[in-house]
Amino acid sequence: MKVEKLRKKLAEEKLDGLLVTDKINRRYLCGFTGSNGLLLVTENALQLFIDGRYTRQAQQQTQGVEICEIPVGTSLIEVLRPFVKGAVFGFEAGTITYQSFINFQALMGAVGGRLVATKNMIEELRMLKTPEELSAIRQAAKIADQTLEMILPLIRTGMTELELANEIDYRSKKLGSEGPAFETIVASGPRTALPHAHAGNKKIEANELIMIDFGSIHQGYYSDITRTFAFGEVDNEIIETYQKVLSAQKQAIETVALGKPLGEIDQVARLVLEQENLVQYFSHNLGHGIGLSCHEYPALAPNETLLIEKNMSFTIEPGVYLPEKAFGIRIEDDVAVNESGHAEILTHFNKEWMTIDCNR
């Protein structure tokens, strides 16, 4: 079904085929998870070009795919030559390496063919999830929720951010995650004002803010969650700011509805923060698609005109970062657009204001 939808798109664009070089898109279309390979999609064929390291893996992971092993001492370009002669092929302009582009361009010129840049052709298919895909994302979100339940009681004064990040990764894997969704973010105190702080050797102190941003993976599908909370007592201004960010997030989630532009959801959160004189500290998009990749198409950006459809899945994560006041706050949940056209929240860990006991 996925490949047939892609073939319909190729026909509409008057393309003879598509050179799929993106690892995630390759997996989406044929199931192959190897780190290297080329998937060639044409009207009548689906061919996976790999070297001998991946032959058995490809045989085990794919169905209805012709596996073309590249002989030792031969290049992919040489093997491809008879398959692309005189044809017009699309390529994934957003993710291909420059060297690969140069190689393909030279090949097509030599065989009387032509390359055409494509944008989000497969990503648009990935954007709308099947029930099985949504089930996998829900499980990834559940693992993240369970991880947070296990982690918060472990936090101690003097523990470093990196030690806490390692505990998160370890516990998440013990609960069934295939690995961290990305480099786990743990920021404490003034470092919470860094939107994407790297967990470091800073020691967590009593009476400061902690921000945790991480995700889990189940059957290749990702979750992504951020929670910010107090470790002991913090200033009232921090608590008040938290409530304003939480209000922005909740209102954005409530606004999700079929047919609305994704940009409108971003603008709802931005307006709430503007009314609180905080919007100048909101320095990123409201969210991003989530699925086989943690950050995937589409983006919930202020000017995004793409309309909301059923079975989309994305994050909603407003944040404000105030380095001059030495704190920042972000709250992130994963949502899916359900059959009624509204947002089903997939991450369920408490997001009301939390104060964790620091005297333990």
Q: What does the pLDDT read at residue 55?
A: 96
Please report which helix (H) or strand (E) contains residue 324, including its range.
none
319 inside domain: yes
50, two tokens:
């790999």
Looking at residues 319-340, what average pLDDT do you find?
97
359 inside domain: no
Confidence of residue 1 (pLDDT cuts 50, 70, 90): confident
> CA-to-CA distance for 211 and 144, rounded, in angstroms?
15
Q: What does the pLDDT read at residue 215?
A: 98
> CA-to-CA distance for 19 and 101, rounded, in angstroms?
10
Looking at residues 26-47, what average pLDDT do you find?
96
Of the candidates 125, 153, 187, which is a domain's last residue?
125
Answer for the pair 268, 255: CB distance below 8 angstroms, yes or no.
yes
Which residue type is seen at 265? I
360 inside domain: no
Looking at residues 93-121, what average pLDDT do you find?
96
> Is residue 6 domain-shared with residue 53, that is, in the same domain?
yes
Chain centroid offset of residue 3 CA: 22
Cβ contacts of 234 within 8 Å, gap of 6 or more: 207, 208, 209, 327, 355
Confidence of residue 222 (pLDDT cuts 50, 70, 90): very high
Does residue 298 have a cis bond before it (omega within 30 degrees)?
yes
Going through 10-80 in order, the beta strands assigned E by DSSP cover 17-20, 38-42, 46-51, 66-70
Of the candidates 125, 142, 173, which is a domain's last residue?
125
340 inside domain: yes
> Is residue 132 domain-shared with residue 166, that is, in the same domain?
yes
296 inside domain: yes
The dihedral region occupied by 163, where left means phi > 0, alpha psi between -120 and 50, and beta the remainder, is alpha
Looking at residues 315-323, what average pLDDT do you find?
98
> Is residue 78 domain-shared with residue 163, that is, in the same domain?
no
Number of domains in the chain: 2
Q: pLDDT by residue (tens digit) across 66-104?
A: 999 999 999 999 999 999 999 999 999 999 999 999 999
> Is residue 117 domain-shared with residue 207, that is, in the same domain?
no
Q: Look up the domain containing 68 and give its range.
A: 1-125
Task: Give backbone dihedrals phi and psi of 16, rounded to 5 degrees, phi first.
Answer: -75, -20
Q: Is the pLDDT of residue 266 over 90?
A: yes
CATH of the domain at 45: 3.40.350.10
Looking at residues 33-60, what average pLDDT do you find?
96
> Is residue 80 domain-shared with residue 167, that is, in the same domain?
no
CATH of the domain at 132: 3.90.230.10
Of the candidates 85, 104, 125, which is a domain's last residue?
125
Q: What does the pLDDT read at residue 196?
A: 87
> Is residue 118 domain-shared with residue 132, that is, in the same domain?
no
Average pLDDT value for the chain: 97
Confidence of residue 131 (pLDDT cuts 50, 70, 90): very high
Q: Which residue has the tokens 């100048």?
A: 280
> Is residue 131 domain-shared with residue 118, that is, in the same domain?
no
Which pTM value belongs to this model?
A: 0.95
> CA-to-CA distance for 147 and 307, rounded, in angstroms?
33
> CA-to-CA distance for 70 and 33, rounded, in angstroms?
17
The β-bridge partners of 136 are none
> Is residue 107 domain-shared with residue 146, that is, in the same domain?
no
Looking at residues 17-40, what average pLDDT do you find?
97
46, 119, 177, 232 from 94: Cα distances, Å = 22, 7, 29, 45
> Is residue 94 domain-shared with residue 4, that is, in the same domain?
yes
Sequential DSSP letters for 230-294: EES---HHHHHHHHHHHHHHHHHHHH--TT-BHHHHHHHHHHHHHHTT-GGG--S-SEEE-SSSS
38 inside domain: yes
Confidence of residue 184 (pLDDT cuts 50, 70, 90): very high
Q: Is the pLDDT of residue 360 over 80?
A: no
Q: pLDDT by residue (tens digit) across 271-297?
A: 999 999 999 999 999 999 999 999 999
3-state helix, strand, coil in the chain (%, to 5): 40, 25, 40
> Is residue 139 domain-shared with residue 92, that is, in the same domain?
no
> Is residue 62 domain-shared with residue 94, that is, in the same domain?
yes
> CA-to-CA distance for 230 and 208, rounded, in angstroms?
6
Cβ contacts of 347 within 8 Å, gap of 6 or more: 141, 144, 145, 223, 225, 332, 333, 334
What's the CA dihedral at 229, 232, 237, 238 to 10 degrees?
A: -20
Please report which helix (H) or strand (E) contains residue 8, including its range.
helix 2-12
DSSP for residue 39 = E
Confidence of residue 162 (pLDDT cuts 50, 70, 90): very high
Answer for the pair 285, 319: CB distance below 8 angstroms, yes or no.
no
185 inside domain: yes
317 inside domain: yes
Looking at residues 9-37, what average pLDDT do you find?
97
> Is residue 96 domain-shared with residue 140, that is, in the same domain?
no
